[in-house]
Structure 1
Amino acid sequence: MSTFIFLAVMGAALLHATWNALIKTGGNKLTAMLIMTIIEGVVGAVVAMTRNLPQGEVWFWVIGSGVLHSAYKFFLAFAYEHGDLSRVYPIARGTAPMIVMLVSLLFLSDVISGYETLGIALLGVGILMMARGVFTDGESRRLVPMALCSAMATAAYSLVDGMGARVAGDAVMFVAWLFVFDVLGFVPMAYALRGRQVFIANRRSWGLGAVAALASYGAYAIAVWAMTQAPIALVAALRETSILFAVLIGWLLFGERLGRVKALSAVLIVAGVMLTRI
C-alpha cells in the first residue's frame, strides 16, 4: 500500500468518526440523523439517475439494505442520547465485525484462522471492558443495548450489502439506491416515534447534518476507491482506526472522561478488528 492510499484511508476513518461526532453534538440526535439521511438520499437519487435501474431480485437486496441502514441509524441516535461518543462508538463499531465473523463461521462455512480467533477474543474482552465502564462510571445503562442493536444492524447490512452488490454487479448503483430506500424507511419511522417535532431544526442543525452527510458519503467513497487500489482486508482493518479517532474526539473536544480502562478497551477493540481482517 502506497503512502497516499494509506493517508486516504486514515482520512476516511477520521471522516467516519467526525460525522458520528457531529450527530452527537447536535441538540436532537434523531433530528440530526434525519437531516443527514435526507441529504444522503438526495445525493443517492442523483447518482442513481446516472446508472441503470436495479433488475429482478436486486430490488429485494436494495430494499432490505435500506431498512437495515435505517435501523442502524435509529439505534445509534438513541445510543448517543444516553452515552458519550467515546463509549458508544467503540461498542457499536467493534461488535459488528465480531458478529459478522461468527455468522460467517456458523452459517457460511468460512474457516477462521488463528489470528481471527485471537481477534475475536480481543474484541470480546475489549467490548466487555467498555460496556462494564458504563456501570462503574455511573453512566446511563440504556446506551449498551442501543449500541449493541446498532452493531447488529451494522453486521446485518454489511452482509446484505456485500452479497447484494455482487448480485447487482454495480456497487455504485446499489449504494445509491440503498440511500434512497434508507430515506424512505427512516423518515416515516422518525415521524411515527417523535411526530412533527422531529422535523423542527434550526440552521445550525441543518448545517451540521449537511456536513455529517458529506463526511459520511466521503468516507464511504474513499474506502471503496481504496479497496480497488490495495488489498481489501488491509483497507478494512485500517478503517477501524476510526474507533481511536472517536475516543480522542470525545476526550479532546467534548471533554468526555478518558480513564485507563476506556483507553485500553478502545485499543483492544481496534487490535481485535485488525486481527480479524488481516
Structure 2
Amino acid sequence: MSDWIINLSGTPAGAAWATALALMSALAHAVFGALQKGRHDPWLMRGSIDASLIVISAPVALFMVPWPNGPTFVMLLGAMVVHFAYKMTVALAYERAAYTVVYPVIRGTGPLVTVIGASLLFHEHFAPLQWAGVVLLSAAMMMLALRNMSAEQVDLRGLKIGLLWAFAGGILVAIYTVWDAYGIRQSPDPFTFLAWFFFLTALDFPILAAFRYRRTGAPGGIGSLIRRGMAGAMIAWVSFGGVMLATRLGGVGEAAVLRETSTVFAALIGWFVLGETVGPRRLILMGLIALGAVMVQVGG
C-alpha cells in the first residue's frame, strides 16, 4: 500500500484521494472534538487518549512497519516537540474559555498560516480565488466564535487568556501541519512515519495526566474516561492520519483548508446528535465556511 501511495502522489488521482481523505479527516476531527467536550477535565481526557494511542500504535510501530531512518527519526523528534506544545495550548485554552468559543478560533487561525507556510516551504502557490476562499473560511470561523461567545456567561479575564492560548494553538496547528507534511513526504515509507508519529507524540500527556489524577481524581468517572480515551485514540488515527496522507498525496494548503470544515461537521453533530440549537446565524456561517473550502478547491 505504501508503494501505491507513493506512486499516486502528485497525480490527478492522488489529488482526488487527498480531497476525500481531508474531508474524512474533518469529519473524524469533529467527532474527536465532541468526544472531549465538557464531561472530563481536558488534561485527563488528553492523557487518556494518548495512553490509548500508545497501546494501539506501539505494536504497529515496533513490529508491522519498517523502522525510521535517521532523517525520519529527526522529523519525528521535532513532531514530538511541536505536538506537545499544541496539546498544551489547547488544554490551557479549554481550561479558561468555552469549547464552542475556543475551537473555532484554533481552527480558524490555522489555515491562513498553513497556506503561507506551504507556499514558502513547498512552493505551493494559491490563485487569487483560493486566497479569497481561505480568508472567507477563516473569517467565518472567527465570526462563529463571536456568535458562540454571545451565548456564554463570560468571565472576561478567563476569556482573554483562553483566546490568547487559542490563537497560539492555531499557529501551532499551522506549524505541525507543515512539519508533518514534510516528515511524511521525506519518509521512505509513509506508514512508518504515521505509526511512529502516533507512538512517540503520545508519550507526554499520560505522565501529566497521572500527576493531575493524583490531585483531582477523575470527575465524571474513570470508566467513562478510559472508554472515551480509547475511542478518541481510534478516531485520532483516522483524523490525523487521514490529513497527513492527504498532504502526501496532494497539496498541503488544500488539505489544511478542507480539514477545517470540521467546524461545520462539529456544528452538525451538535445539532443532530447532541440536540444543540443551531439558529440562522450559525447556519449562515457554516455555509460561508463550506463556501470558502469550495473556492479553494475550484480556484486552483
1:168 counterpart (183, 187, 190): 187
TM-score (ref. length: structure 1): 0.80
Unaligned runs of 5+ in 1: none
Match of 1:216 in 2: 236
Aligned twin of 1:30: 43
CA distance in 2, matches of 1:145, 1:260: 28
Q: C-alpha displacement at 1:263, in angstroms?
A: 3.6
Match of residue 243, structure 1, among 238, 249, 263:
263
TM-score by length of 2: 0.75
- 1:157: which partner in 2? 176
CA shift in 2, pair 1:277/1:75, >3 Å: farther
Pairing 1:1-278 to 2, within 5 Å after superposition: 12-49=25-62, 50-105=64-119, 109-133=123-147, 136-137=150-151, 138-140=153-155, 141=159, 142-190=161-209, 194=212, 196-197=214-215, 200=218, 202-221=222-241, 239-254=259-274, 256=276, 258-278=278-298
Q: Distance in 2 between matches of 1:95 and 1:242?
A: 14
Cα-to-partner distance string for 1:86-144 (whole Å, 9 max, x where unaligned) = 43333322321111112334566543311222123213422332343365445452442
Question: 2:174, 2:214 → 1: CA distance?
Answer: 31
Shift in alpha-carbon separation, 1:262–1:159, aligned structure 2, 3 A:
same
Q: CA RMSD in A?
A: 3.4
* CA-CA distance at 1:171 after TM superposition: 1.4
Question: Does the 8 Å contact 1:16/1:215 carry over to 2?
Answer: yes
Q: 233-242 vs 168-177, which deviates more?
A: 233-242
Aligned residues of 1:240 and 1:274 also touching (Cα < 8 A): no
Give the fraction of aligned pairs with identical amino acids, expressed as a percent: 27
- The answer as to whether partners of 1:191 and 1:198 remain within 8 angstroms in 2 is no
Judging changes above 3 Å, is the alpha-carbon distance between structure 1 residues 72 and 57 closer, same or farther for their aligned structure 2 residues? same
CA distance in 2 between counterparts of 1:120 and 1:24 reads: 27
Q: How many residues align?
A: 273
Supply the distance in 2 between the matched residues of 1:84 and 1:250 (Cα, whole angstroms). 15
Q: Assess if the C-alpha contact under 8 Å between 1:129 and 1:261 holds in 2.
A: no
1:126-169 deviation digits (Å, cap 9, x = unpaired): 23323433654454524422322222221111111111112222
* AA of the residue aligned to 1:56: G
Q: 1:254 to 1:79 in 2, by over 3 A?
A: farther
CA contact (8 A) 1:44 1:180 kept: yes
